């Protein structure tokens, strides 16, 4: 044992930059944010690039956010660390990062979505409709809260309105709209760099977006990351007030 910190080597500088952007967004919502890191050597085909999975939970959305990054060198890793310390260690030009010392994980870090068993689900709106749905509920939340008399503009009342609005299903799916709002806020719904053929919502995918289900978990997957929720929420109650 050398005692040296574990160093992650990414497939290219773009992977490091995208991870840094994700961590920065998490810290925007929670300066004390923690992330769980998982990587398994030998997963996939021989000679294939290994992947790092980074899990976080922005407190305003009640979802898990998942960002993956391709690694050039395989590692075995399963730890929870400070998002801020990991961000400080990212060397974008060098396409590398140093894994910080572990921290005591928050409760959600012990309850992650399954690695396998995912199936596509139908009903996801088209990309344009999905963006429009998120914009509409954001506008509704702002309008309803702005109309509240000053004496009623309490945290409890804001949370009540938020729970009502953000728990609504997205399109013809069981996915709560907060999962799409979180994906948009974290930069997961931005335009893709390479064109992706449109797919019918009947297959659970619309262009670059796919809705997946596994047991009680639902997952909105995009080329830049995923958001996941449990249909019977066991993640605990946090404010759902949009930032």
Which pLDDT value is given to residue 205?
54
Kindly list the domain boundaries of the chain, sorted by start residue.
Answer: 7-104, 119-230
Which pLDDT value is given to residue 49?
56
Say if CB 126 and CB 207 are below 8 A apart: yes
The burial class, CB within 10 Å (0-12 / 13-18 / 19+), for 32 is: exposed
Which pLDDT value is given to residue 190?
84
Which pLDDT value is given to residue 193?
57
- Look up the pTM and report it: 0.84
Which pLDDT value is given to residue 40?
80
Looking at the DSSP bridge assignments, the partners of residue 209 are 206
Which pLDDT value is given to residue 18?
95
Ordered mean pLDDT values, 10 residues apiece, the chain (243 residues)? 80 96 96 94 53 93 94 93 98 96 93 93 93 94 92 90 92 94 93 47 61 96 95 44 36
Q: Which two tokens stand for residue 106?
A: 């928050």
């Amino acid at each position: 044992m050398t005692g040296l910190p574990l160093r992650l080597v990414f497939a290219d500088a773009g992977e490091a930059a995208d991870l840094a952007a994700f961590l920065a967004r998490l810290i925007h919502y929670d300066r004390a944010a923690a992330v769980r890191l998982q990587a398994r050597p030998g997963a996939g085909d021989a000679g294939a690039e290994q992947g790092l999975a980074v899990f976080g939970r922005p407190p305003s959305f009640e979802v898990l956010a998942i960002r993956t990054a391709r690694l050039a060198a395989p590692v075995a890793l399963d730890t929870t660390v400070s998002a801020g310390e990991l961000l400080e260690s990212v060397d974008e030009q060098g396409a590398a990062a140093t894994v910080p010392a572990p921290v005591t994980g928050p409760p959600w870090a012990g309850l992650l979505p399954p690695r396998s068993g995912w199936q596509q689900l139908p009903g996801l709106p088209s990309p344009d409709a999905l963006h429009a749905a998120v914009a509409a509920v954001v506008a509704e939340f702002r309008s309803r809260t702005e109309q509240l008399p000053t004496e009623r503009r309490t945290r409890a009342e804001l949370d009540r309105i938020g729970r009502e609005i953000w728990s609504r299903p997205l399109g013809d799916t069981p996915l709560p709209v907060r999962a799409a709002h979180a994906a948009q806020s974290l930069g997961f719904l931005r335009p893709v760099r390479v064109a992706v053929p449109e797919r019918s919502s009947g297959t659970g995918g619309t262009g670059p977006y796919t809705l997946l289900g596994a047991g009680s978990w639902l997952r909105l997957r995009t080329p830049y990351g995923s958001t996941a929720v449990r249909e019977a929420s066991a993640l605990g109650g946090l404010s759902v007030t949009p930032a």
